[in-house]
Each structure stands twice: as structure tokens, then as C-alpha cells.
Structure 1
Amino acid sequence: MSSELGVFVERDGQPAVRLERPFPVPAGRVWQALTEPAELAAWFPSPTVAMEQTVGGRIEFAGDPYADDGFGTVLEFDPPHRLGYTWGGDELLFELGPRGEGCLLALTDVLEERDAAARNAAGWDVCLGELEKLLTGGAPTGPHGEAAGDWRARYDAYVAAGMPSGAPVPEGGDPG
């Protein structure tokens, strides 16, 4: 998992966290991991995701032990460059661009609550670590698996870096 921390930003006047990760695979391969249910199960917080792959389409989430099952709306769908959708009260935007022989993934989580920044950034760090395993031939166990990254250490690093914090941490203390 990358040791580089994400950053707190504003997007259209809303609080957000942004994380970037380079991957040594083409954007099309990362796009597959962002959109195919079997691939999402390996790294996304909700292991069951069903998406109508079109702007305005419905996306359903289930199985996250730290969040209620729910649905969202696809806001952007431009393969293999931009994917955006609502997730709970947040909006997620995934942007892919070239980087060397591979690509760069930028994930922006537009937050419903400013004080969720450190918590969510730490969770996405763990998720992106699992995505990296998936894309580089490792053995992802999902972000809630025992072999996933250390959410608490990442959270503490974000808090120490001054990222807004204070949102409730789910029972068990590791929503990653």
C-alpha cells in the first residue's frame, strides 16, 4: 500500500478527500476493476455491487459491515476515463489517466460531512491497497479482511496531518 496520504480538498464548494495511485496496468484494466461486480468484490467496501452502466443508472450496494445496504445514481460514465456515482450521502469520482506504461487513478470522495474526511480517507487507503493487490497479481481479501491494510494507523496519520476528523468510527474501530 502506498504510504502517500490523500489530501483534503473542496469540489464545487463541498468538502472532499482525494487520493491518487499509480498502477502498472492500462486504464482499461483498472476500469474493469471499477465496474465489474466480481472485481469490485475484491476491493470495494460493499462486496456486492450491481451497476447499470449508464449516466442516470442505478447502482446498488450490499454487504458492507459498517454501512447499511443502499443504492445510488451513476453521475458520470465515460469508459475508461471517468466514473462517478452517489454512495450514501457522498459522491465518488474515479478518474483515470495515462502514467508511464500504466495509469494514474484519482479517487475523489465528496463528503456529506466535513468531519468524515480522515475516517473516509483512511478507509479508501485500505481499499486502494486491496485494489493494488488485485491489479498486480496479489491476493486481495477485501478491505474488511485480516490481510488488508491497517486502517487505524492510516486514520491516525490523517488526523496527525490535520485532516478534518471527529465523525463516528463504527463499532470495532476499523471501517476500512
Structure 2
Amino acid sequence: MELADVSAHPAGDGRWTLVFTRDLSHPPEKVWDALTEPGRLKEWAPFEPSRDLGEPGEATLVMDGAGTDETVTKADRPHLLEYTWGGDLLRWELEPTETGTRLRLSHTMPGPEWAARNAAGWHVCLDTADLLLAGTPQGRVVGEDALKHDWQDLRDAYTAKLS
């Protein structure tokens, strides 16, 4: 299992930011669509949005049947997407590479104890997104299903990497 490049640091407001960087073999426009289009997000993300996230403004993100009102604060296609999620801040940066896209997620969360857990979760989600982008969608992997996709081993490996 190849881990993403990760780091965690204080965010300056008492919270912490996990920086999760992964290369995908798909062009930025295609990755952008997977990050913003509701039909694509529901195939890999831990939530479903009420609307396309490609424009700033209010949106509801539904997870486990419960919705939270969130805000897309920045949307610069296909380079930068930033929005709130349950008190956290997700900032997706897309950089073209020779073979596709370097995706950098900065996930600002309550504290450092969340970093390895969230890294493992995003790892599983982005494995699923990669399959979707390759044209072989398998459907969302969340909750108990994530345990069947090596989430525990990933969490342990990211704990060691972030130590």
C-alpha cells in the first residue's frame, strides 16, 4: 500500500491542518468534475452535496442521512476548491503534472488526534475516486465498509508517518 505524502501542523486558530498530497493519472478538469459534480461526488465522497460545488455559495452536505449547511468559499476551476464541512475546512488544490494531476487537500480539523484518521479516510475515498475517474466506479466506501478496504491498516500507517 502506497501512502500519500502527508503532514500535519497547527492552523493558528487552535485547530490543526492535515495536508494530504496525492498524484492522480487524470487531467485536472476531470478531477475537478469529480470534486464538484453531485453525481460524481456521491460515488466516492463521504457526503452528497445538494448542488454542484463548482461555484461559491451555500450548499447542504448530506452524510448518513443528516445534512449540514456549508459554504463554498472559493471555486477557481480547475485549480482551487474550498468549502466548510461540519466545522472543518477542506481546501482542494489541483496542479497539472506530466501524467495527470497533483491533488493537495488541506483539511483543517479540531486537533492533531484527527490527522491519521482523516488521512486514512481520504485515502480510501480517493482510491474510490480514482476508480471512478478510470471509468470503473465501485461506489462509495464509508463507515463499516471502509474497514473492509484496509482503513485500520491505513490509519496505523498514517499514524506512524505523521509521528
TM-score (norm: length of structure 1): 0.79
1:98 CA displacement: 0.9
Judge conservation of contact 1:129–1:149 (CA < 8 Å) in 2.
no
**Structure 2: which 5+ residue stretches go unaligned?**
none
- How many residues get paired? 159
1:5 CA displacement: 4.8
Question: Partner amino acid for 1:124?
Answer: W
1:59 CA displacement: 1.9
Runs ≥4 in structure 1, deviation > 6 angstroms? Answer: none
Question: Partner amino acid for 2:98?
Answer: G
Question: Partner amino acid for 2:18?
Answer: V
The alignment-based identity, stated in percent, is 35
Report the equivalent of 2:30. 29
Judge conservation of contact 2:5–2:22 (CA < 8 Å) in 1.
no
Hey, what's the Cα distance between the residues in 1 that align with 2:151 and 2:5? 12
- 3-state SS in 2 of match to 1:161: helix
**Structure 1: which 5+ residue stretches go unaligned?**
164-176
Judge conservation of contact 1:94–1:107 (CA < 8 Å) in 2.
yes
Hey, what's the Cα distance between the residues in 2 that align with 1:140 and 1:10? 35
Tell me how large the CA RMSD over aligned residues is. Answer: 2.3
1:2 CA displacement: 3.9
TM-score (norm: length of structure 2): 0.85
From 85, 88, 95, the counterpart of 1:87: 85
Pair 86,102 (structure 1): closer, same or farther in 2 beyond 3 Å: same
From 56, 74, 77, the counterpart of 2:75: 77
Judge conservation of contact 2:6–2:162 (CA < 8 Å) in 1.
no
The answer to which structure has the higher helix fraction is 2
Hey, what's the Cα distance between the residues in 1 that align with 2:115 and 2:3? 17
Hey, what's the Cα distance between the residues in 2 that align with 1:98 and 1:162? 26
Paired residues for 1:53-72 under 5 Å? 53-55=54-56, 57-64=57-64, 68-72=66-70
The answer to which structure has the higher strand fraction is 2
Report the equivalent of 2:139. 141
1:44 aligns with 2:45: yes
